[in-house]
Amino acid sequence: MTRCLRRIAPLALVLCSLAAAAPAAAQDSAAAEALFNQGLADMEAGRYEAGCKAIAESHRLEPKLGALFTLATCESRWGRIAAASAHFGEYLAQVEQLPPEQKSRQGDRPKVARQERDRLAPLVPELSLALPPGAPTGTVVKRDGGVVDGAALGASVPVEPGEHVVSTQAPGGSVWETRIQLAQGEKKRVELQVNGAEAAPAGGASGRRTAVYVAGGVGVAGLVLGGITGALTLGRKSIVEKHCGSGIGSSDETACDQIGLDAAESASATGLVSTIGFGVGLAGLGAAAVLYLTEPKQSDATAGATSSRIRAGVLAAGPGGVVLGARGAW
């Protein structure tokens, strides 16, 4: 009994698989027939684009010689002679593989297909695309949105008559595009162009030169800060003179009213900042001068390639103090 079950189990599995696949196949067959009938009606009504697409989908779902022959006929009427010629040739190749009794069922179709293929073949344009010598590895070539296989580059490929959009793009580069017009029967070879990789930003200053710019920028900013806060200090001192000592009728020069006290406190703070600012400014300019004077000389080409911009000054200011520094682009 066990041995019998072992023999039956694989067969049962196969039968179950076939049973599950049968409904799907039946659905595809029904859809293919409906698409074919719709496509045939569109073709006969002159709606070739819709008709050819429906027939092509029907043939994809259920490949049949009749659908393939009708697809080629539709494409020929639509003007897609390259596709029509190829499909007529495909139909004839498949017919040749049929047994004699099945071949005879095709009637006059093989004769018509052969005549149409031979008539269309001389009318089909051919396009050859070639990359320039030294094109970067990985350059992508596209024709009408589809990627052209590397093996097809340089070969004459049948295409439809009319306009074709061809583009190239190297890794890291921008797209180069051209439009090519082909008449019936025309053969054309096109040498493509390839844009190089996007240029890297111009080489900046050396690390030492960058330090010169930074130190100089901070030095200038320090002097600017010292000047601004120094002017503020002088302004506060005039207020102190008016609101302290004899300015308020007091013999005690340290006696001040509230305005004088506030001005004195503010003058003390801005005076300190001014002193620090001038100190930082002089130190920064001195360091920049030393770095610049001791820097190794650059070649003219390198110096010309350097493009730096520095803006120094007070970057932020508020009641609690100010921030000095430099902004630049290299």
CA 248, CA 252: separation in Å to the nearest integer?
A: 10
Question: pLDDT: is 321 or 86 the higher one?
Answer: 86
Q: What percent of the chain has pLDDT over 90?
A: 50
The pLDDT-based confidence of 297 (bands split at 50, 70, 90) is: low
pLDDT digits (tens, 9 = 90+) for 182-235: 999 999 999 999 998 765 555 444 666 787 778 778 767 867 776 786 677 777
CA of 231: how far to CAs of 75, 129, 263, in Å? 87, 73, 13
Pick the range with the lowest mean pLDDT from 91-100, 154-163, 276-285. Answer: 276-285
User: In angstroms, rounded to a whole number, what is the distance separating the alpha carbons of residues 59 and 180?
Assistant: 32
Q: What is the pLDDT of residue 290?
A: 78
pLDDT in tens, 241-294: 777 777 777 777 777 777 767 767 776 777 677 688 678 768 867 877 877 778
Task: Tell me which of 20-29, 169-178, 220-229, 249-258 is least confident.
Answer: 20-29
The residue ranges of every structural domain in the chain are 22-122, 126-191, 207-329
If residue 285 lies in a helix (H) or strand (E), which one and from where to where? helix 258-293
pLDDT of residue 306: 44
**Are 205 and 144 in contact, with CB atoms under 8 Å apart?**
no
Q: What is the pLDDT of residue 7?
A: 56
pLDDT band at residue 295 using 50, 70 and 90 as cut-offs: confident
Q: What is the pLDDT of residues 127-150, one digit of tens each?
A: 999 999 999 999 999 999 999 999
CATH architecture of 22-122: Alpha Horseshoe (1.25)
Q: What does the pLDDT look like over 39-54, one tens digit per residue?
A: 999 999 999 999 999 9
Average pLDDT, whole number, for the chain?
Answer: 80
Cα–Cα nearest to 259, from 250, 247, 269: 247
Question: Tokens standing for 228?
Answer: 């601004």
Q: How far apart are CA 93 and CA 103, in angstroms?
A: 12
pLDDT digits 0-9 by tens, 261-272: 776 777 677 767
Helix (H) or strand (E) holding 107: none
